[in-house]
A and B are shown apart, each in its own frame.
Chain A
């Protein structure tokens, strides 16, 4: 399932002119507010008619179909549950208006843990519960494609943490292509398989998530302070002293105890500024996590910082160091270095579960 989108639209000073492909998995449209992300998914849903453009799903054009015929499940930022219907009626709405039996009702209700809410009305739900019901309602409308417009933006951190695992399960279990709008880099790092970076109505970068996140040329666009890359690892052991050992392609990492069975694959995020570079393998340090790597690229920033992309056991990591240290270490492509990952950098909140196996 591949979604292919191209759009041109002019609205006063703002010009939208972009094209991108969203392969199977979760594609994040990332960009600042006002960059045109929501307009793009509204165009995919048929809620917005661009001056010109094309929306194709597996080679079949959706452009001439009205919204109800497009079969896109749309999860809005503000949930938009129908206030006069119960949760159950909201969930069954899509099947009802298409006069088709709702398949998988029980599975989706249990996937999203909303069984206790079925007889309530939206006014009696919390923000997180509303989001889950909105996701369920979109899924139960028998969509070919899922659109999510910052579904977590209105929620506080605790509620976000509550919803994120459900979205990961959708990505891994439903097989639907998901187009996900966000301006939160940590959400993107955790969820995306593909990233499309949009700025002022244009696509400025797109590609597989691991590649985009570890690209030193992209980091300044995504936001230097939040720059960081993702690493795939496997839970190797839960040690008696409360640490969890993760096996990565470059060596072991220890994290404060992590939930999950031994053998499960996890995706961890390491912020660029939480990596210290060293020419020799350091001794007598309190840091536990040291990985060997080779410099791939160096990019000077505008300020005193520099971004260094490293190959770590075949995966790519991004480190941010000062220009002064980079010169002192004589960092240049091809050079082997040791990466000291501050334990705290791999925060529990940023640990996502990827498809098991």
Chain B
């Protein structure tokens, strides 16, 4: 194959990367907070929070997309507020695609981080407190470094999931080339038109490559960190 990607294909790839990076970065602080709350705190509504976080994993993506549209659409309660107060529109924009990807990837990220927090011995955190560290300092100096491998795993899983998100995205922000047409939406679109198979195939190969690279990178990074954190 000598011809590089066509303009539309490039657009889809770059858009997907942008959407996934934003989705991952924005959900990371919230993901750490939610994981910490679920792993360590007891509070009323804990079960409810756990359910909400995991809902997108179980709901049909089209339902999640529809709920996002109803909530964050221009006339939805949150969407209207965002538009009136800040002039932010999410529906049918790439920002909406990022939101959809973030929501869909969130449970995977929280699960990975939560598991690593649960693996941290709370007695180490107690020891830090006796040495004079307040709770936020304990978190930053003890918990966070020890869960770094879990965070990296969560970030990469979430990124890969965001790259592949289709159902919620197409429901919430549709499939507008150059605006909201991410990699999976583009593959879908190419498959709908005669002669689009070769474009679709190229994008499929790219998807596979990106996913593989993400998985290998996560393995490598988390092993390195685990060695540094717990090792000799």
Contacts and interface: CB of A to CB of B under 8 A. Distances in A.
Given A83-B229, A84-B228, A121-B231, A76 B129 contact: no
Interface in A64-103: 66-74, 76, 78, 80, 82-84, 93-94, 96-98
B126 interface: yes
B139 to A, nearest CB: 12
Interface in B47-87: none
A258 B137 CA distance: 49
A57 to B, nearest CB: 15
Contacts of B232: 120-121, 123-124
Given A93-B141, A137-B131, 17 more contacts: A47-B126, A67-B126, A67-B130, A68-B133, A73-B130, A74-B127, A74-B130, A76-B123, A76-B127, A82-B127, A82-B142, A84-B146, A84-B230, A97-B134, A124-B232, A141-B130, A141-B132
A121 B127 CA distance: 17
A83 B146 contact: yes
Interface in A336-357: none
Contacts of B131: 68, 93-94, 97, 137-138, 141
Contact of B132 (A47, A80, A94, A120): A94
B37 interface: no
13 contacts: A66-B129, A68-B129, A68-B131, A69-B132, A76-B123, A80-B127, A83-B124, A93-B133, A97-B132, A97-B133, A97-B141, A137-B131, A138-B131
Interface string B6-21: 0000000000000000
Interface of B: 121, 123-124, 126-134, 137, 141-142, 145-146, 228-232
A235 interface: no
A142 B132 CA distance: 9
B133 A84 contact: no
A68 B132 contact: yes
Interface of A: 45, 47, 66-74, 76, 78, 80, 82-84, 93-94, 96-98, 120-121, 123-124, 137-138, 141-142
A313 to B, nearest CB: 43
B126 to A, nearest CB: 6
A123 B231 contact: yes
A78 B123 contact: yes
B224 to A, nearest CB: 13
Contacts of B230: 83-84, 123
A68 B134 contact: yes
Contacts of A98: 132
Nearest to B230: A83
Contacts of A82: 124, 127-128, 142
A142 B123 CA distance: 21
A332 B142 CA distance: 62
Q: Which of A72, A83, A137, A141 has the most CB of B within 10 A?
A: A83
